[in-house]
């Protein structure tokens, strides 16, 4: 109990977001490579947007609660 006494509002720092973009290798053997690449780009953009939105929502909720 004595360890968590100083745990009031002093340590509400926000954690930084770490993101790494993975590079996709393009192969020019099949017909639908452009379509597959477009779908992959769209999926990556949507996932990154969802991650950013989740970070914003978490920060806003923490700011409101604290």
Cβ-count burial 29-49 (b if 16+ within 10 Å, e if not)? eeeeeeeeeeeeeeeeeeeee
Q: Note the pLDDT of residue 60.
A: 96
Q: Note the pLDDT of residue 4.
A: 52
As averages over each run of 10 residues, the pLDDT of the chain (66 residues) reads: 52 57 55 78 94 96 92
Q: Note the pLDDT of residue 15.
A: 59
User: Which one-letter DSSP state was computed for residue 29?
Assistant: S
Q: Note the pLDDT of residue 64.
A: 94
Whose tokens are 């779908």? That residue is: 39
Q: Note the pLDDT of residue 35.
A: 83
């Amino acid at each position: 109990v004595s360890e968590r006494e100083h745990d009031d509002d002093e340590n509400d720092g926000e954690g930084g977001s770490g993101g790494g973009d993975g590079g996709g290798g393009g192969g020019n053997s099949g017909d639908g490579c452009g379509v597959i690449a477009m779908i992959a780009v769209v999926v990556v953009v949507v996932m990154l947007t969802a991650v950013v939105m989740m970070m914003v929502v978490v920060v806003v909720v923490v700011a409101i609660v604290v």
